[in-house]
Chains A and B, each alone.
Chain A
Amino acid sequence: MREPPGLLDYARRWPLKLWMLLVGLFLYAPLLVLVAMSFNDSRRTTHWRGFTMDWYAKVFEDAELVQSLVNSLSIAAFSTAISLLLGTLAAIALWRFRFPGRMLVDGAFALPIVVPEICMGVAMLIFFARVMPWPAGLPWPLSLGPIVIAHVSFSFPFVAVVVRARLQSFDRAQEEAARDLGAGNWRALWDVVVPHIRPALLAGALLAFTLSLDDFVITFFTAGPDTVTFPVKVYSMVRFSVTPKVNAISTLLLAVTVLLTFLALRLQARAAAERLS
């Protein structure tokens, strides 16, 4: 027999159970319908007419769509690499040193996290139109520059937050020991501090990658006609019609998101287990 719920075990009381069920339905039903309809053998997206993979084939026949996906993945990769470097440096600097204006820098680095997306999009639009025009007609990866720059600007503070949290658990005595044993400052940093924050680096990288892949608003303002990203392309398709093709693309992107989230959680769980043992 199951025990009755504990005094504070709210998750097992029926009013809350019912509530959780409804909220879960609210959060997931639209997504599940979307996934189901992507396999629906009907142009009209409401009636179920049988299973098909045609829409997925159609997605891959659409050269523009595939190009936009390649753009998005490349932007996310570049942006992740740069954000990881900058975010880690910022986190270590703020953790390691006492200097005048530290609080100010700390607060400033939090700004890109809280500033509304639309404001940042506008800022990037003006910046690349008037202050630092990006040369037109550059060969492919270079033409993505403005979008990569914009993505790094809002991603690296997130990486810094994640790495900083991990640094809290670092025992400074370890670094001192390394220095006492003759390691230089940089050497101690690389050999002692960096291994400690490795799980945070992975988590930060996944975060930066997802943020970049998901961003629509800021990219919408920075993308040019030949640097269309995946969300921007999907947006223009959605504006015109609800087609099963959009369902198929969305399902693919959903699958990537689910995969990345589980990967991140897996890594976190493993890091936690290592800490315990």
Chain B
Amino acid sequence: MRDGLDWRTARPGLAGLLGPPLAWFLLFFAVPIAVVWAYSFGTNVGVAGIEISGTFANYARALEPLYLRILAKSLAFAALATLICLLVGFPVALAISFAAPRLKAVLLVGIMLPFWTNLLIRTYALIALLRDEGLINQGLLWAFGWAGFEPLPMMNSNFAVMVGLVYVHLPFTVLPLYAALDRLDRSLLEASLDLGAGHLRTIWYVVLPLASAGIASAVLLTFIPVLGSYLAPDLLGGPDSQMIANVIERQFKRANDWPFGAALAFLLMYVTFIGIALQSAHRRRIDAE
């Protein structure tokens, strides 16, 4: 009984409850994704025709140096942004999870608000700061103008993209980290501190191993959205900061090479699946211990 009713005793009940969401999922999620997958093995025929010819040419093309470089760059951007988010976010999550209840609620809202704020607006807000005539340069000009200060060109660069990626995704890292740290058994930490270990040692040898499942899910929840980011490289980056999502968009909206775009999109999907598989393997290993 704990595990729920046996479906054989309540077939109409199960069909009535699960039927609509499952039908929606299959028709409006599984089918579209499957079509993308099929297109990734297709060839362009004529102006608008696409034949599913079973070719691997689109994937082969994705591995050409030009695209391979963008792919590698996207992975590197995602890895670096995730790392920065972890380093910046871990102390924040730590402070929140050990704060007094009142302060904790305030801090949590502080992290959640940007999380709920429109991505486009947050990216746009950064433009106003980073532009040549933006607030940062204005401030520097005001402070160092007497010394012949020239505005720092920050916009349309890899630097701006990285700032944008970290800015947008930081809450994605902090929230799962907080969830993990909040569940820690505090007596273990107190024991470590009582026995003479310093705070940093305690964090490194006690907190990190205990929270490793939460850290893994924070990494996954940050890495995947960063890897597929479209807006930050599009609005903040220069010609040299294209990420894979921008290339995908171009295949569909301008270059009109859908099969190639589909193959690129599915490369992103494969990376996602690998990430999920790694994380659940990690979780199983921890559970087994």
Contact = CB atoms under 8 A, between A and B. Distances in A.
Interface of A: 7-12, 16, 19-20, 23-24, 26-31, 33-34, 37, 44-47, 85-87, 89-90, 92-100, 105, 108-109, 111-112, 114-120, 122-127, 130-131, 149-150, 152-153, 156, 160, 172, 185-186, 210, 213-214, 216-217, 221, 231, 234-235, 238-239, 242, 246-247, 250, 253-254, 257-258, 260-261, 265
A85 B118 CA distance: 25
Interface stretch (B55-63, B64-72, B105-113, B281-289): B105-113
Given A30-B122, A44-B133, A97-B13, A8 B127 contact: no
Nearest to B18: A93
A30 B163 CA distance: 12
Contacts of A152: 24, 28
- Residue picked from B28, B228, B231, B261, most chain A C-beta under 10 Å: B28
Contacts of B6: 97-99
B41 interface: no
Contacts of B103: 11
Nearest to B166: A26
A260 B35 contact: no
Contact of A97 (B7, B100, B118): B7
B7 A20 contact: no
A87 B190 CA distance: 42
Interface string B73-99: 000000000000000100110111011
Contacts of A118: 228, 230, 245, 248-249, 265, 268
A257 B95 contact: no
B99 to A, nearest CB: 4
Contacts of B29: 111-112, 123, 153
B135 A93 contact: no
10 contacts: A19-B91, A23-B88, A28-B114, A109-B21, A127-B35, A217-B230, A231-B118, A235-B120, A250-B125, A260-B116
B167 A26 contact: yes
B211 interface: no
B128 A242 contact: yes
A51 B154 CA distance: 29
Interface of B: 1, 3-7, 10, 13-14, 17-18, 20-22, 24-25, 28-33, 35-36, 39, 50, 88, 91-92, 94-96, 98-100, 103-104, 107, 109-114, 116-122, 124-129, 131, 133-135, 138, 167, 170-171, 186, 189-190, 193, 224-225, 227-228, 230-231, 235, 245, 248-249, 252, 258, 261-262, 265-266, 268-269, 272, 276
A156 B122 CA distance: 25
What are the 7 closest A-B residue pairs judged by CB atoms, nearest first? A116-B228, A99-B7, A123-B32, A93-B17, A11-B99, A30-B125, A90-B21
Contacts of A265: 109
Contacts of B22: 90, 105
Given A11-B104, A89-B18, A122-B261, 4 more contacts: A23-B92, A44-B133, A108-B25, A119-B269
Nearest to A8: B98
Contacts of B120: 216, 231, 234-235, 238
B153 to A, nearest CB: 16
A56 to B, nearest CB: 16
Contacts of B92: 19-20, 23
B39 A126 contact: yes
Given A33-B135, A122-B262, A127 B231 contact: no
Taking each of A12, A116, A234, which has the highest tally of chain B beta carbons within 10 Å of its own beta carbon? A116
Q: Most chain-B Cβ atoms within 10 A of its Cβ — which of A12, A118, A213, A260?
A: A118
Given A86-B21, A116-B224, A238-B120, A98 B128 contact: no
B40 to A, nearest CB: 10
B118 A257 contact: yes
B116 A123 contact: no
A11 B98 contact: yes
B125 A122 contact: no
A202 B132 CA distance: 44
Nearest to A86: B21
B186 A8 contact: yes
B18 A114 contact: no
A118 B127 CA distance: 22
A7 B193 contact: yes
Contacts of B261: 122
A114 B231 CA distance: 18
A248 to B, nearest CB: 12
A213 B116 CA distance: 10
B99 A34 contact: no
Given A46-B133, A115-B33, A131-B32, A34 B17 contact: no
B31 A33 contact: no
Contact of A119 (B1, B131, B228): B228
